[in-house]
Amino acid sequence: MGINVSKYNLDVVLLHEGQRYYRVVGNNEMGFQQLCTWITANGCQQAHICMKATGQCGYAAAEFFYRSGHDVSVVNPARIKAYSASRLKRNKTYKVDAVLIAEFCQREKPTFWSPPRAVFSALKALVHHLNDLKTIKR
């Protein structure tokens, strides 16, 4: 399954038994739950979910799917871009990107991701907060 993450939405393509299923859900807890139900409704009990590492927007989804028992890969965007170039893909829409990510996941089988330990997440949150304070001070 490929997920193209944006701030407010997840564009999702599920490749299962030769079929492509497309869906857009909110990038929030309700959207994540809808996707879990949708995956099962399409006959897939466990999915390999792949998304680009695009900052903070996708990590809540990655963590949710990881905790739901799915295999998750968070991939460097440069790998997806190189894969796109190798496939001579030039169109760029949310849906096309989701298809590309799903195909990349299916063919390249990227390594699985796991959430960082809580101490690293807390440190990362503090650094983001510090950067926000520095921005406000300017």
Q: What is the pLDDT of residues 71-96, one digit of tens each?
A: 999 999 999 999 988 887 777 789 99
Tokens of 120: 């690293």
Task: Please give the tally of structural domains in the chain.
Answer: 1
Domain that holds residue 97: 2-137
Q: Look up the CATH number of the domain holding residue 17.
A: 3.30.420.40
3-state secondary structure 28-70: CHHHHHHHHHHHHHCCCCCCEEEEECCHHHHHHHHHHHHHCCC
pTM value surpassing 0.85: no
Which of the four pLDDT bands, split at 50, 70 and 90, describes residue 12? very high
Identify the pLDDT of residue 54: 80
Q: What is the pLDDT of residues 16-50, one digit of tens each?
A: 888 899 999 999 999 999 999 999 888 788 899 99
Length of the chain measured in residues: 138
Residue where the block lists tokens 């699985």 = 112
